């Protein structure tokens, strides 16, 4: 199960009998998730151009799932006493699909604050306890992606000759005074400008307090979300490409156009 993803370097963990449930009752769900996630690629320009928000690649993944019928759903659980509604709790899940045996829910956490994992896992736990979903799936940045973000961004900076504040701003990326001071501090410590800029950019936008594999794994291993059957998928660095030659300004224009058309979901 998920063999083609694993062969390509995606991290996959399965918990609380999710493997048995999916293999027997939801083979179509597995095939659809594998096709959508496995077809994902993210140009390095989109990682830099997103400024830390949700990348265009993640938005493409969302659209791929939506085209397969994995749509947003707001679950409302009501408590009644003698037929009178006393309280209601809602749980919004970004990607949900009903199959004949039951419902599978999926959340994508590309670059949010890491407490969003607690929200997702607790939502899955409650919805599973109420019989609303059979399995929960979370997709996030994998270990190799997180570990290699800095060298990948540095390679981008070297190839695009981003070797000064002026070059960075001239390329279409706005910088704050604080960010520039931090880059300068790292240059004085002996880094090249490209390494200093990449280090500061990744630390600022994709740091340890954001959603990535180790933060998700820690929570699941502590029992957060238990006993909901779970599938965790980590996106590898191998899906990042360097040969598209996209300009950041073109990415920003595509963002604006899609938002105007109502295609792109709000960034995380």
Confidence of residue 246 (pLDDT cuts 50, 70, 90): low
What does pLDDT average to over the chain?
89
Provide the token pair at 227: 């006993």
How many whole angstroms separate alpha carbon 22 and alpha carbon 231?
10
Q: Which residues pair with 95 in a beta bridge?
A: 106
- What's residue 224's pLDDT? 96
Question: H/E element holding 216?
Answer: helix 213-221
Full-model pTM = 0.87
Residue 253 contacts by C-beta under 8 Å, 6 or more apart in sequence? none
Confidence of residue 267 (pLDDT cuts 50, 70, 90): very low
Bigger pLDDT: 29 vs 263: 29
How many whole angstroms separate alpha carbon 172 and alpha carbon 183?
17
Of the candidates 33, 49, 35, 3, which has an alpha carbon nearest to the alpha carbon of residue 240? 49
Of the candidates 244, 261, 245, which has an alpha carbon nearest to the alpha carbon of residue 253? 261
If one looks up domain 3-35+42-77+84-260 in CATH, what number appears?
3.40.91.20
Of the candidates 235, 267, 220, 212, which has an alpha carbon nearest to the alpha carbon of residue 121? 220
Say yes or no to pLDDT of 145 above 80. yes
Q: Which residues pair with 138 in a beta bridge?
A: 107, 232
Residues 255-264: pLDDT tens digits?
444 444 443 3
Per DSSP, which regions of 53-173 are E strands? 71-81, 84-99, 102-109, 135-141
- What's residue 86's pLDDT? 78
Q: Are strands 84-99 and 42-43 parallel, antiparallel or unpaired?
A: unpaired
Residues 35-83: pLDDT tens digits?
999 999 999 999 998 655 567 888 999 999 999 999 999 998 887 888 7
Report, as an integer, the average pLDDT of 220-245. Answer: 93
| SS3 state of residue 178 | helix
With both helix axes pointing from N to C terminus, report the angle between 143-159 and 213-221 in degrees, rounded to the nearest 10: 170
- What's residue 248's pLDDT? 54
Report, as an integer, the average pLDDT of 123-138. Answer: 96
223 secondary structure, DSSP code: T
Say yes or no to pLDDT of 249 above 70. no
Residues 165-189: pLDDT tens digits?
999 999 888 889 999 999 999 999 9
70 secondary structure, DSSP code: -
How many whole angstroms separate alpha carbon 168 and alpha carbon 151?
17
- What's residue 182's pLDDT? 95
Provide the token pair at 97: 């699909």
């Amino acid at each position: 199960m998920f063999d083609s993803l694993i062969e390509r370097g995606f991290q996959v963990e399965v918990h609380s009998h999710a493997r048995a449930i999916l293999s027997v009752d939801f083979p179509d769900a597995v095939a659809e998730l594998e096709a959508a996630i496995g077809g994902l690629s993210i140009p390095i320009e989109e990682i830099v151009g997103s400024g830390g928000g949700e990348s265009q690649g993640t938005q493409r993944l969302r659209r791929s799932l939506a085209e397969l019928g994995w749509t947003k759903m707001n679950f409302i659980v009501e408590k009644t006493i003698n037929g009178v509604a006393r309280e209601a709790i809602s749980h919004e899940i970004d990607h949900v699909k009903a199959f004949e045996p039951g419902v599978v829910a999926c959340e994508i956490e590309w670059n949010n604050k890491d407490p969003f994992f607690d929200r997702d896992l607790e939502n899955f736990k409650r919805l599973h306890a109420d019989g609303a979903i059979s399995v929960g799936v979370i997709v996030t940045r994998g270990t190799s992606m997180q570990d290699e973000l800095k060298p990948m961004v540095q390679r981008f900076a070297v190839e695009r000759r981003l070797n000064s504040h002026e070059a960075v701003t001239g390329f279409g990326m706005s910088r704050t005074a604080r960010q520039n001071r931090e880059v300068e501090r790292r240059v004085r410590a002996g880094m090249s400008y490209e390494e200093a800029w990449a280090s500061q950019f990744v630390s600022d936008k994709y740091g340890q307090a954001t959603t990535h594999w180790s933060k998700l794994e820690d929570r699941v291993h502590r029992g957060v979300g238990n006993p909901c059957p779970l599938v965790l998928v980590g996106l590898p660095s191998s899906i990042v490409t360097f040969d598209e030659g996209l300009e950041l300004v073109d990415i920003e224009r595509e963002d604006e156009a899609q938002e105007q058309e109502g295609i792109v979901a709000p960034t995380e």
